[in-house]
Amino acid sequence: MTDQEIYALKNQNLVGKNINLRIANPKDAAFILELRLNPLLNKFIGETDPNIENQKNWINNSYNKTNEFHFIIEDKNGLPFGTIALYDIDYKLGVAEWGRWVLKPGSPVYCSIESNVLVFHLAFDILKLKKLIGGANNENKKVVSFHKSYVSISSVTDKHTWFYVEDSNYKKFLKTFKDFHLIPIKNNIKIS
Amino acid sequence: MRNKIIELIYTSIDELNEQNEADSQLTKTESTIIFGKDSNIDSLGLVNLIVSLEQYVNDEFNVEISLADERAMSQENSPFSTVSTLASYIEELLKTQS
């Protein structure tokens, strides 16, 4: 995939049934800070610089990287629910990490499922990656439990559970949550 | 059948309670609210409960039912409202399957 094609992808939304994934832009800085500085949510995520200008710069840097997709999860009217990202993409090896998954309290049930479906769709169906790597703090039990329903576990340490997703895991996820996506066959989610 | 289904729901509630904070625990009664305004669990908790319960039901009754239903999980009068309505919903799904 060329850099031009990657930026073209970044300038489109990934369209799901109830939500879209849109690449974050500097206007999202306040929302992202609000999420990441929320004490209910930031127990299990890395430290966040509270300066809004630094956040805007971080978002711009992320946009400029061809090996990173940092998304805002939003409804069809543009109401933001959270963030999710695909990053450290190694196109040659076909490997990437996914994470930075934060949903604001009270988000609809479908957000958690659809946001992961769309990221996996981007990774496996569009970018043709082979493997995604992720991890979660063991104390973040709900997230660990959610991922355990479909991922393969690579290791568990005192602090973290590390896991990976390959095409077979993706298919299992699609099957379990078949009511939450538009992918009866590959590449059926529209890109607008 | 209904008693067995309720037993399976309670097993899933036990699992969910292990993931939740002390102030977000679900009690094991038929009138316990699972989904809705007064629920103690968030959306990810509900997803985990449904996925776990679906597995238990499929193993116990040896049929494949799907509980992860977008409409059922979103609507006001959701079959996931209480333990009792969830048990009835599963019973109905199992009868349809057999």
Neighboring chain A residues of B49 at a CB cutoff of 8 Å: none
Q: pLDDT at residue A168 above 80?
A: yes
| Band (A188; pLDDT cuts 50, 70, 90) | very low
CB A100 within 8 A of CB A82: no
What confidence tens digit (pLDDT) does each residue in A13-52 have? 999 999 999 999 999 999 999 999 998 888 888 888 999 9
Per-residue model confidence as pLDDT tens digits over B31-75: 999 987 778 788 888 899 999 999 999 999 999 888 888 777 776
Q: CA-CA distance, B67 to B41, in Å (whole number)?
A: 17
Find the CB nearest A146 among B47, B69, B74.
B47
More confident of the two residues A184 and A29:
A29
State the nearest Cα–Cα gap between A69 and chain B, in angstroms. Answer: 23
User: Cα-atom radius of gyration of chain A, to the nearest Å?
Assistant: 16
Is A171 a residue whose pLDDT tops 80? yes
Q: Go through the domains of chain A in sequence order and give each one's CATH number.
A: 3-180 (3.40.630.30)
Residue A187: pLDDT band with limits 50, 70, 90:
very low
Contacts of B52 in chain A (CB under 8 A): 145, 149
Confidence of residue A92 (pLDDT cuts 50, 70, 90): very high
> Residue ranges per domain, chain B?
2-21+30-97
User: What pLDDT score does B75 carry?
Assistant: 63
> What homologous superfamily does CATH list for B2-21+30-97?
ACP-like (1.10.1200.10)
Q: Are B13 and B26 in contact (CB under 8 A)?
A: yes
Q: Give how far A61 is from chain B: nearest CA, Å.
A: 31
pLDDT higher at A185 or B68? B68
| A7, two tokens | 């930026």
Strand bridging mode A19-23 / A14-15? antiparallel
User: Above 0.90 for ipTM, yes or no?
Assistant: no
Contact B17, B27 (CB under 8 A): no
- Distance separating alpha carbons of residues A97 and A162, to the nearest angstrom: 11
**Nearest neighbour of A112 by CB, restricted to B18, B44, B71:** B44
State the best of A109, A172, A174 to mutate against chain B, taking most chain B CBs within 10 Å.
A109
